[in-house]
Amino acid sequence: MSALAEKWEMDPQRFFWMYGDGRSAEPVAFDEASGIWNVYGHPETVQVANNPHLFSSDTGRLIPERREFDEGAITQLDPPRHTALRKLITHAFTPRAIDDLEPRVHAIVADLLDKVIDRDGFDLIADLAYPLPVTVIAELLGIPASDHSLLNGWVNKMMSISSEFSLGERDEVVGNEVEFAMEQVRHITDYLRDHVRQRRTSPRDDLLTRLVQAEVDGERLTENEVANFANVMLVAGHVTTTLLISSTVLCLDAYPEVDRAVRADRAGIPGLLEESLRYLSPITSMVRVTNAPVEVGGVTIGADQMVSAWISTANRDPRVFNDPQTFLPARTNNPHVAFGRGVHFCIGAALARRESRIALNALFDRFPALRCDPDNPPVFMTNPNLNGAARLPVVTG
């Protein structure tokens, strides 16, 4: 069991990987109830991520109710279409572009912390870890600050589901949760579609305008493609950073000796963030569909089968990581898959790392005694696809 799981009594069923249950004795297993093949091992997960010709991201072919949101959503596309769409936004995440964003990130962090500096405590997620990345990505897209709270409401509702996905028969509760989540996605894409129409007649200097004006194979993207593309950027563009910042603070609280060491030597922050990504990976799993029969971990999986590769267990595979249940920022070998691998490697990974580094340095500077509130424990996320806290009260003295 990890120290973090023990301290906060994390649900052992929901967060099984935090209790040493990496299921590595059976790195690939079929779940009869859900109809899904689960991949738990690290090399097996890398195999799934690195072979899009065998493991397709087009999961909508087995999940018809989400098909309307797949058009233009790069997380659901395979090469060459995925490659072509991804190229449309790579310029926004180059090292130079991220360097140019850094002053703005510093300013946002400073403004957010100014609002809580005189308090004895605050919610780290609501007051910093969420508004920082959502402000950055919304500004890149060209979404007005006045609408951030509106989007926040839809995203929070979408993320609040607790049911595991299944290809089998669903009971009423699961069916209602799926429809509720889809309803929130419709709110977001409808909102973004309105902005897409505005950019067609009144272009601006933002990513939405570039997507509206872009051509792929000689054709402009449809309104749905741009809206779905922007939706993926908006949600994926802030969830990972939100969870990385808050989970790192959770880890520092559970390992006070690490907190003391990294505060004394800030050069340890990059290693701290990489270990946080491994130890409490923001995304629990990646889902693919097989295009043909394929062997994974000595098991043959047939064509048109759904495969769930568990990032959280892959990052605790004892075949790859020494003492995987211990939080060790000084690891010299940390090939975690928190940001994925291959063609779908998170395009915003460098930005997430930069935002998190700036946020942590600012927290260390302003709050020398910051720690989780012992009388007001964190509330962990119920969404099975996300790993971390939904609410994280901290005290400053």
Amino acid at 280: L
- Give pLDDT, residue 31: 92
265-310, pLDDT tens digit by residue? 999 999 999 999 999 999 999 999 999 999 999 999 999 999 999 9
- Structure-token pair, residue 385: 């696809």
H, E, C per residue of the chain: CCHHHHHHCCCCCCCHHHHCCCCCCCCEEEECCCCEEEECCHHHHHHHHHCCCCEECCHHHCCHHHHHHCCCCHHHCCCCHHHHHHCCCHHHHCHHHHHHHHHHHHHHHHHHHHCCCCCCEEEHHHHHHCHHHHHHHHHHHCCCHHHHHHHHHHHHHHHCCCCCCCCCCCCHHHHHHHHHHHHHHHHHHHHHHHHHHHHHHCCCCCHHHHHHHCEECCEECCHHHHHHHHHHHHHHHHHHHHHHHHHHHHHHHHCHHHHHHHHHCHHHHHHHHHHHHHHCCCECEEEEEECCCEEECCEEECCCCEEEEEHHHHCCCCCCCCCCCCCCCCCCCCCCCCCCCHHHCCCCHHHHHHHHHHHHHHHHHHCCCCEECCCCCCEECCCCCECCEEECEEECC
Q: What's the mean per-residue pLDDT of the chain?
A: 91
- Assess whether pLDDT exceeds 90 at residue 20: no
Taking only Cα atoms into account, the Rg of the chain, rounded to an integer number of angstroms, comes to 21
- Give pLDDT, residue 254: 95
Instruction: Tell me if 78 is assigned to some domain.
Output: yes
Q: 72, 348 in Cβ contact below 8 A?
A: no
- Give pLDDT, residue 218: 86
- Assess whether pLDDT exceeds 70 at residue 114: yes
Mean pLDDT of 49-61: 94
- Point out the least confidently predicted range of 12-21, 148-157, 187-196: 148-157
Instruction: Tell me if 331 is assigned to some domain.
Output: no
- Assess whether pLDDT exceeds 70 at residue 106: yes
Mean pLDDT of 145-160: 82
| Residue 356 CB neighbour total at 10 angstroms | 28
Is the alpha carbon torsion for 66, 72, 74, 80 positive or negative?
Answer: positive
| Comparison of pLDDT for 75 and 113, the residue scoring more | 113
- Assess whether pLDDT exceeds 70 at residue 382: yes
Q: Compute the distance between CA of residue 243 and CA of residue 238 in angstroms, rounded to an integer.
A: 9
- Give pLDDT, residue 384: 87
- Give pLDDT, residue 246: 97
Mean pLDDT of 12-31: 85
158-197, pLDDT tens digit by residue? 777 766 666 666 666 667 777 888 888 899 999 999 999 9
- Assess whether pLDDT exceeds 80 at residue 141: yes
**Res. 157 pLDDT band, cuts 50 70 90:** confident
Instruction: Tell me if 69 is assigned to some domain.
Output: yes
Percent of the chain with pLDDT over 90: 71
Mean pLDDT of 99-125: 97
**Res. 1 pLDDT band, cuts 50 70 90:** low
- Give pLDDT, residue 274: 98
- Give pLDDT, residue 115: 97
Q: Is 322 exposed, middle or buried (0-12, 13-18, 19+ CB in 10 A)?
A: exposed
Q: Compute the distance between CA of residue 17 and CA of residue 95 in angstroms, rounded to an integer.
A: 34
pTM of the model: 0.93
**Of 342, 315, 280, 385, which is closest to residue 41 (Cα–Cα)?**
315
- Give pLDDT, residue 152: 82
Instruction: Tell me if 70 is assigned to some domain.
Output: yes
**Res. 248 pLDDT band, cuts 50 70 90:** very high
Instruction: Tell me if 306 is assigned to some domain.
Output: no
Instruction: Tell me if 66 is assigned to some domain.
Output: yes
Segments forming the whole domain that contains residue 251: 56-284+338-395
- Give pLDDT, residue 172: 65
- Assess whether pLDDT exceeds 90 at residue 64: no
Q: 55, 288 in Cβ contact below 8 A?
A: yes
Find the CATH number of the domain harbouring 246. Answer: 1.10.630.10
CB-facing half-sphere around the CA of 341: CA atoms within 13 A = 21
Mean pLDDT of 135-155: 88
| Residue 220 CB neighbour total at 10 angstroms | 14
- Structure-token pair, residue 158: 């979408």
Q: Compute the distance between CA of residue 197 and CA of residue 201 in angstroms, rounded to an integer.
A: 7
- Give pLDDT, residue 163: 61
Instruction: Tell me if 289 is assigned to some domain.
Output: no
Instruction: Tell me if 355 is assigned to some domain.
Output: yes
- Give pLDDT, residue 60: 85
Q: 112, 145 in Cβ contact below 8 A?
A: no
- Structure-token pair, residue 159: 């993320």
Q: How many domains does the chain have?
A: 1
